[in-house]
């Protein structure tokens, strides 16, 4: 039992469960199923971008991808515009979205490498560009997704939304990469000590390139799914995911200092981030309290986690 409690991701799940129970307490147990279903759906978006951000943060101090919202918006906008509600273009549309992610990731890393600027500034500057392209191509039009795609993104098996299924598959893939894959080992090594990793033959630039591209592609996929789910892309759809993506990584038990990732925690934290909102809503507390609470949780988790890494 103690070994179980020492897993850093367990706390995110316990917190999510507590929020779930607290919500149910108010409603008297009504709507538990629909709340769980909604939580799985919305947590899926945070989980997918969170996995990408997790790999970036794992690369070590200073590594963070601030272009996730812009990439999401751009990918969602361009893909929906391309498909133009035509069902036969769904797969090419997905291809467009992933291609946008690929390009955004390459731009990000090119700026980091060529301008030798901290990733936070590079992704920030790049996000300005992505956002502008998105605004320009969007023109205030709201193009609906093709009907089958909309059905897919809002539908699901009983008790398991399709989106959650996608996000779980991605999380499993990320977990396998991290635990079994060569690349995962290399990412973790770089995050602990980039110089030592390089002196042990790790191809540092190739790994960092892959991580930034991967983060952008996952953000693009999320943008595509989110636009399909919410009946069209809009320019603000990514905004909350900048903070969200970092928050789920931190709360999920990955080390902010890099070198230690935690895939299950991403899911726990994503569920928690949704459930805490519904809990506060059910208690009649507004957005203000929710934001303050979220902020306090992040700061506390960081302070707590860094204490642990100091003593270790």
Partner 1 sequence: MTREHLRFMLPILSLSILLVGVFYLQPRAMSYFGLNLLFNLAIPVALATIAQMMIIMVNDIDLSIGTFVSFCACVTATLVQDTPLLGYTVLALAIVGYAAIGAVIHIRGLPAIVVTLGMSFVWAGLAVLLLPSPGGSPPPWLRTLMTMKPPLVPFAIIAACVIAAVTHLFIKRSSFGVLLRGVGGNERALERSGWSIVWLKAAAYGLAGLFGVLAGMALVGLTTSADANIALRYTLLSIAGVILGGGEFTGGRVSPIGAVIGALTLTLAASFLSFLRLSSDWQIGAQGAILILVLAVRLLVSRREGAA
Partner 2 sequence: MPNNDTMSGTLGVPVVALGDVHKSFGPVHALSGATLTVHAGECIGLVGHNGAGKSTLVNVINGRLEPTSGDLAFAGETPGQPPKGAQRAARAGVRSVFQELSLCPNLTVAENLRIPYRTMPRWGWRALARKTVRAALDEVFPDHGITARTLVGDLPLAERQMVEIAIAFSRRDSDARLVILDEPTSSLDAAIALQLLTHIRRFCDSGGAVIFISHMLGEVFGVASRIVVMKDGRITEDRPTKGFTRATLVDAMGHVASAATRTTSRDFGAEVLRLPNGLAARRGEVVGLAGLAGHGQAEVLADFFFSRSSTWHARRKPHVAFVAGDRSRDGVLPLWSILRNLGLMTLREHSSRGMVDHAQERAIGDTWRERIKIRTDDMTNPILSLSGGNQQKVLFARALASSAPIVVMDDPMRGVDVGTKKEVYRMIRAEAEQGRTFLWYSTETDEILECDRVFVFRNGAVSAELTGDAITEENMLRASFEMQEAAE
Residue 256 interacts, among partner 2, partner 1, none and using kind-specific CB cut-offs from 5 to 8 Å, with partner 1
Q: Which of 192, 230, 281, 282 binds partner 2 (CB under 8 A)?
A: 192
Backbone phi, psi, residue 266, to 5°: -60, -45
Instruction: Please tell me the distance from the alpha carbon of residue 22 to that of residue 292, in angstroms, as a whole number.
Output: 19
Q: Does 203 bind partner 2 (CB under 8 A)?
A: yes
For residues 269, 270, 271, 277, the Cα torsion angle rounded to the nearest 10 degrees is 100
Contact indicator for 61, 118 with CB cutoff of 8 Å: no
**282-292 exposure pattern, b = at least 16 Cβ within 10 A, e = fewer:** beeeeeeebee
Among 265, 287, 262, which Cα is nearest to 276's?
287
Using CB under 8 A as the binding rule, whether residue 302 contacts partner 1 is answered as yes
Which of 28, 114, 139, 180 is in the footprint of partner 2 by CB under 8 A? Answer: 180
Q: Should residue 196 be labelled a site residue for partner 2 when binding is judged by CB under 8 A?
A: yes
Partner in contact with 292, chosen from partner 2, partner 1, none, beta carbon below 5 to 8 Å by kind? partner 1
Which residues make beta-bridge pairs with 156? 161
Confirm or reject binding of residue 260 to partner 2 (CB under 8 A): yes
Q: CA 305, 40, 3: angle at the middle one, nearest 5? A: 40
Query: Mapping DSSP to helix (H, G, I), strand (E, B) and coil, where does residue 212 land?
Result: helix
User: Which partner in partner 2, partner 1, none is near 181 (CB below 5 to 8 A by kind)?
Assistant: partner 2
Residue closer to partner 1 (CB basis): 111 or 177: 111
Residue from 127, 162, 228, 261 touching partner 1 (CB under 8 A): that is 127
Binding marks (x or -) toward partner 1, 99..118, rule CB under 8 A?
A: ------------x--xxxxx
Cα angle value 58/59/62 (rounded, 5°):
100
Of 42 and 186, nearer to partner 2 (C-beta) is: 186
* Shortest spacing between CB 197 and partner 2, in angstroms: 7
Interacting residue ranges for partner 1, rule: CB under 8 A:
61-62, 64, 111, 114-118, 120-121, 124-129, 131-133, 135-136, 139, 243, 246-247, 250, 256-257, 286-299, 302-303, 306-307, 310
Interacting residue ranges for partner 2, rule: CB under 8 A:
180-183, 185-186, 188-189, 192-193, 195-206, 255, 259-260, 312
């Amino acid at each position: 039992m103690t070994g179980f409690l020492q897993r850093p991701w367990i706390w995110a799940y316990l917190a999510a469960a507590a929020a779930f129970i607290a919500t149910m307490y108010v409603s008297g147990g009504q709507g538990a199923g629909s709340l769980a279903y909604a939580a799985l759906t919305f947590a899926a978006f945070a989980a997918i971008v969170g996995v990408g951000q997790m790999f970036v943060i794992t690369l070590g101090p200073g590594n963070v991808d601030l272009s996730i919202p812009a990439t999401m918006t751009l990918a969602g906008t361009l893909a929906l515009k391309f498909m133009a509600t035509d069902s036969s273009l769904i797969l090419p549309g997905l291809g467009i979205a992933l291609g946008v992610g690929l390009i955004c990731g390459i731009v990000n890393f090119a700026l980091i490498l060529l301008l030798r600027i901290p990733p936070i500034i590079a992704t920030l500057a790049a996000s300005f560009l992505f956002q502008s392209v998105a605004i320009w191509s969007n023109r205030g039009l709201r193009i609906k997704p093709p009907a089958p795609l909309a059905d897919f993104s809002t539908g699901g098996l009983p008790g398991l939304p399709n989106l959650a299924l996608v996000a779980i598959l991605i999380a499993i893939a990320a977990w396998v990469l991290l635990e079994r894959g060569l690349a995962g080992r290399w990412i973790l090594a770089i995050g602990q000590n980039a110089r030592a990793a390089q002196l042990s033959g790790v191809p540092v630039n190739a790994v960092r390139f892959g991580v930034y591209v991967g983060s952008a592609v996952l953000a693009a996929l999320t943008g595509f799914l989110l636009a399909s789910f919410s009946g069209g892309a809009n320019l603000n759809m990514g905004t909350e995911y900048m903070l969200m993506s970092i928050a789920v990584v931190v709360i999920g038990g990955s080390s902010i200092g890099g070198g230690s990732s935690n895939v299950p925690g991403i899911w726990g934290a994503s569920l928690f981030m949704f459930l805490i909102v519904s809990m506060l809503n059910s208690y009649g507390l507004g957005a203000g309290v929710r934001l303050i609470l979220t902020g306090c949780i992040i700061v506390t988790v960081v302070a707590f986690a860094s204490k642990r890494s100091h003593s270790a």
